[in-house]
Structure 1
Amino acid sequence: MAPEVDQTQARDVAVWRKAKRTELRDARKTLSASTHADLSAQIAARLEDILHRHYHGAKGQIFSMYWPIKGEPDLRTLMGKLHKFGVRIALPSVETKAAPLVFRLWTPDAEMTRGDWNIPVLTKDAARVTPDITLAPLVGWDPAGYRLGYGGGYFDRTLAALPSPPLKIGVGYDAARLPTIYPQEHDIAMDVIVTETGAHAV
């Protein structure tokens, strides 16, 4: 967990994060379709290699991934590949406002619907599960493993509520690396961050 900070600093950090979040998301919008596809493929290859070298490919484990939005790395091809390998893929969704995310099992033929922020999510017919490994897309990240997300706090709130801590993997672009995100008390660091150039263990 991040160190405790005073309220004045917390307000300053919130203002800084909002500005930095906008800056990084605007930069993502400038990526061409081909560059985005290339970066996504590189990140997928790095992630798959890490899973096989260090985590037995995650076979049989529940691996929470995500449906990409707003220029995030698109790892949907890897989702299908891991599913065929025997990894149990889950997707998160917001089912109650300001509550922890809910994870449900995904298969290539699973029924999807539109959730918050128009993100495709699984219907409530899909089995609810608890992940062994979580994958979080990063707006920004720092060498200490802290992630800058969209500001809703859902991911940190979810990690804090899980009965046992999963392996936490963040994925993003090298260009989104920051010296620090000024971690706050509620922020939870990733165990490893994967970008197009490789794994950044923390």
Structure 2
Amino acid sequence: MGIGTADMARPETRLRQEAAAGEPTGWSEVAAWRHTTRARLLEQRTQMAAKERDARSARIAGALDRAIGRIAGRVVGVYWPIKGEPNLYPWIRKLAEKGVSFALPVVIRKGWPLEFRRWAPGDALERGFWNIPVPANGPAVLPDVLVAPLVGFDAERFRLGYGGGFYDRTIAAAANQPQLIGVGFERCRLPTIYPQPHDIRMDAIVTDA
């Protein structure tokens, strides 16, 4: 089930309301909360049994088709799963066989937007930043749809990532705004991630629920 568009309070309003209840307020407090929360969620995720992760990943993949809608003729930016992220490879392979184009992210340098390179299952890969596999030869492309992994998320469709800001910078720098789909496990849902001005709302969040 995805989190779609709904009437939602502005992030700044929500932050003020929760500040009154003793929640973190300034960026330093929010950053510390995110660091602790991220570590907790990552530990939970990596401890998930492989069979359970595969089953939950399959449910996410099934919901992705509905969330994305029309996919023919569009380039879909995906990711290579690390640290227990949902594995979408079977879904990618099935759609690639039908002619859908995919691209994987490449870290060029810390602090820079990601570069997406065209890729299909079976294409050559090499070790990139943090030893994450990246396309060895694919040309750079601009995804029409960006499927972004998340560590946590909230009802306002804000995504908690790994803290490097790569996806936020990439989306902010995009000449044409892609359709933004965050994917993660339902157990990573949070009341709020305390969104900041640099956080970018996803168009939809897709989980295994």
Fold-level similarity (TM above 0.5) = yes
- The answer (yes or no) to whether the contact 2:67–2:204 under 8 Å persists in 1 is no
Structure 1 runs (4+) greater than 6 angstroms displaced: none
Q: Deviations over 1:81-129 (max 9, x none)?
A: 1112221101111012210000010112211001112110012x21110
Three-state SS of the structure 2 residue aligned to 1:19 is: helix
* TM, length-normalised to structure 1: 0.90
Instruction: Tell whether 2:165 aligns with 1:167.
Output: no
Q: Provide the C-alpha distance between the structure 1 equivalents of 2:162 and 2:151, rounded to a whole number of angstroms.
A: 7
- Equivalent residue in structure 2 for 1:50, among 60, 67, 73: 67
Aligned residues: 191
Closer/same/farther in 2, CA of residues 130 and 10 from structure 1, 3 Å limit: same
CA distance in 2, matches of 1:174, 1:34: 16
* Contact 1:2/1:186, CA 8 A, preserved across alignment: no
Q: Give me the identity figure in percent.
A: 46
Q: Deviations over 1:118-152 (max 9, x none)?
A: 110012x2111001000011100000000000000
Q: Aligned letter for 1:83?
A: A
Gap runs ≥5 in structure 1? 198-202
**Aligned equivalent of 1:200:** none
Q: Does 1:132 find its partner at 2:144?
A: yes
Q: State the match for 2:80 in structure 1.
A: 67
Q: Is the 1:68–1:74 contact (alpha carbons within 8 Å) kept by the matching residues of 2? A: yes
Deviation at 1:49, TM superposition (A): 3.5
Q: Which residue is equivalent to 2:41?
A: 24
Q: What is the identity, as a one-letter code, of the residue corresponding to 2:122? A: D
- Paired AA for residue 162 in structure 2: Y
Instruction: Choose the corresponding residue for 2:56, options 16, 39, 42.
Output: 39
Distance in 2 (alpha carbons) for counterparts of 1:106 and 1:48: 19
Aligned ranges for residues 1-202 of structure 1 at < 5 Å? 3=12, 9-51=26-68, 55-56=69-70, 58-123=71-136, 125-197=137-209
Partner secondary structure for residue 97 of structure 2: helix
Structure 2 gap ranges (5+): 1-9, 16-24
Whichever residue aligns with residue 138 of structure 1, its letter is L
Q: SS at 1:85's partner residue?
A: coil
Secondary structure of 2:190's counterpart equals: coil
- Please state how far the C-alpha of 1:2 moved relative to its aligned partner: 5.7
The CA deviation at 1:48 is 2.3
